[in-house]
Amino acid sequence: MTSGPFPANTPQNNIKPVPGEYEARIVDVETIQDVRCGQHIADIYKIHYDIEEGDFKGFVVKDNGVFRYKEKDGFMYEPKRNWGYARFCELLRLPKGSKTTPPPAVNKNKVNGYIVRIDLSYKTFVNELGTQVSYPIAKLIKLLSEVPF
C-alpha cells in the first residue's frame, strides 16, 4: 500500500516531478516472483518511494526494478548476476548473501519507513500504437535514516 496523495507512477492532475535528487520515504515493496530471464529466474522488487520534500511532496514513484536472481530447479544460477541486488542491500544495510549463497528476499516490513535519497528520472518509449509514453522512475542513491523504532 502506498501513501501520499498521488499513487505510484500515475499521472494524477498531470503532476510531473522535475528530474533530480529527492529525499523520500520507502512506503511499499511490490514483488514480482519467478520472472524468467533467459535461462535464469529472478524475483523483481519495485520499491515505492514517497517524496518528502519540495513541490512534489506526497508524490509516490516506483523504482524501475531490482532483480534478485535465485536458485531453482531447471534454471541456471550465477551469483555474480546479483551485483545490482547486492548493491541495493548494501545501501539499505540488509544482508546480501555471499559468493556461494543466494541473497535473502527483501522483507518489506523491515524497509518500509526508511528515509532515503533517490534520483528521479523518466523512462520514455514509443508504444505499439506509435504514442510516446513517459513515466517517472526512481533509483536509490543512499540511506539517510532507518525506521525510528
Write out pLDDT tens, residues 25-62. Answer: 999 999 999 999 999 999 999 999 999 998 899 999 99
Integer Rg of the chain from CA: 16
Give the pLDDT score at 32. Answer: 95
Number of C-alpha atoms within 13 angstroms, CB side, residue 63? 27
pLDDT at 1: 44
pLDDT of residue 7: 57
Lowest-pLDDT range, 6-15, 64-73, 106-115? 6-15
Q: What pLDDT band is residue 3 in, cutting at 50, 70 and 90?
A: low
Q: What is the band of 140 on the pLDDT scale with cuts at 50, 70, 90?
A: very high
Top-confidence residue, 7 or 80: 80
Q: What is the pLDDT of residues 72-124, one digit of tens each?
A: 999 999 888 989 999 999 999 988 777 777 778 888 888 999 999 999 999 99
Are the beta carbons of 49 and 118 closer than 8 angstroms? yes
**pTM, 2 dp:** 0.85
Ramachandran sector of residue 108 (left: φ over 0; alpha: ψ -120 to 50; beta: rest): alpha
With CA atoms as reference, report the closest residue to 34 among 68, 77, 84: 68
DSSP of 60-96 = EEEBS-EEEE---TTS---GGGGHHHHHHHHHTT---
The predicted pLDDT at position 126 comes to 94
Q: Which residues contact 137 (CB under 8 A, 6 or more apart)?
A: 9, 61, 62, 63, 64, 120, 121, 122, 123
Among 45, 14, 18, smallest CA distance to 121 is for: 18
